[in-house]
Structure formats: C-alpha cells, structure tokens
Amino acid sequence: MKRNIVLSGFMGTGKSTVGKALAQRLGWGFVDTDEQIELLSGMKISKIFSEFGEDVFRRFETLIVFNVSRLSNYVISVGGGTLINPYNREILSKNSLIITFMAQPEVIYSRVCSNRDRPLLNLGREDLILERIRDLLEKRMKYYSMSDFILDTSFKEIFELVDEIIDQIYNIVF
Ligand code: S3P
C-alpha cells in the first residue's frame, strides 16, 4: 500500500510548487527533502557542496530520505539527484508512488537561471548552463524513467498538473 506521493525530477521542473498545491488539494502534509537537509545541517545546500562536497550532501540526502519514507499521507518533494541512488529509490518506492516531472531544457533554464542556490548549475558562466542542463538530463533519464509515471510540466499551469496527478492516481488505485 502506497501511503505517500514522491515528486522527483530535474531542478526547475516545479516539484515544490506543484507539491504544495497537490498536498493542499489532498489534505496531506508536504515536505521538501532539500529543506530538511538545510534544517538538519544548519547550512544552505550550496554551502554543503562548497565546504564539504557533493558526497557529504548525498549522505545527508539519504538520511532524510530514510526519515521521510516512513511518513504517511505526505507529498514529498525530493532533489533532482535523489533517485539516482538505488537505495533512495528502493526505500521511497516501498511506501510511495513516485512521479517524475520533466521539462524542456530551455524551460528549465528560464526557471533556474536567476537562482544561485543550485550548485550543480553554478558554473560561473551563463552560456554553459543550458548545455549542462541538457547533459545532466540525458545522463539521468534512465533513473527518472524508473518511476510510476512521468509528467511534462513545461507549459502547464499548477492547477492542471494537480488535476492530472489526481486523475493518474485514480487510474492506478482503482
Ligand atoms: C540537485 C538538485 C537540487 C538539490 C541539489 C542537487 C541535483 O534540488 O538537491 O542542489 O542533483 O539535481 P532541486 O531539484 O529541488 O533543485
């Protein structure tokens, strides 16, 4: 029995924004694993990356994934790299339906380019960001496709995405 909904997918695909609206519609709780990592570590994600490196960030991430995987009736927004780790995938999928958000690289770029708190896209050169997004998306596609379903969020309003998710859940459950 799946008790939660996990929203996965690349940075800038709308996981947190849609996740909050979805949780409200379902009357469920909402939790964002990146926010939990910042609370637990007392540091911004960019600081964890710059001071301790990505490996330490990933360890915090798995710890938080373990904690949230035991929740019930929660929409859980996870970071864009969370599902790459097979252990994270395994513990999340036991108790949660996994939905992956996709978006076109140009749309992702327009959503993330003004935000400096995404260390994997902080390249110091604007002109390289779009290329980096394309490259990471391609590398991660096989992990993202290991989810219950995928939604393209490129040109949709929040309420449309919430409706689509609720329709899909209904199809899966009934
Ligand atoms: C990451 C995505 C970020 C955050 C960290 C690493 C990734 O989360 O977890 O910067 O590996 O794609 P969002 O997808 O919520 O931006």
Domains of the chain: 4-169 (3.40.50.300)
> Could you tell me which residues come within 8 angstroms of residue 34 by beta carbon, excluding any fewer than 6 positions away?
45, 77, 79
Q: Is residue 118 lining ligand 1, measured as CB closer than 6 Å?
A: yes
The answer to whether the beta carbons of residues 11 and 119 sit under 8 Å apart is no
Task: Please choose, from the candidates 163, 171, 172, the residue with its C-alpha nearest in 3D space to the C-alpha of residue 26.
Answer: 163
Q: Is residue 14 lining ligand 1, measured as CB closer than 6 Å?
A: no
pLDDT value of position 125: 81
Using CA atoms, how far apart are residues 82 and 34, in angstroms rounded to an integer?
Answer: 10
pLDDT value of position 174: 62
At residue 81, φ and ψ (nearest 5 deg) are -105, 0
Q: Alpha-carbon dihedral of residues 129, 135, 139, 141, nearest 10 degrees?
A: 80
Number of Cβ within 10 Å of residue 66's Cβ equals: 13
Ligand 1 centre to CA of 174 (Å) is 33
Ligand 1 centre to CA of 101 (Å) is 13
Q: Is residue 9 lining ligand 1, measured as CB closer than 6 Å?
A: no
pLDDT value of position 166: 96
Q: How far is CA 28 from the centre of its chain?
A: 18
Q: How far is CA 78 from the centre of its chain?
A: 4
- Locate the ligand 1 atom nearest the alpha carbon of residue 120 and give its number: 10
Strand, helix or coil for residue 13: coil
| Nearest protein CA to atom 16 of ligand 1, as residue | 11
pLDDT value of position 173: 66
Q: What does pTM read for this prediction?
A: 0.95
Using CA atoms, how far apart are residues 171 and 2, in angstroms rounded to an integer?
Answer: 14
Q: Which helix (H) or strand (E) holds 45?
A: helix 45-52
State yes or no: 140 annotated in a binding site: yes
Residues of the chain with confidence (pLDDT) below 50: none
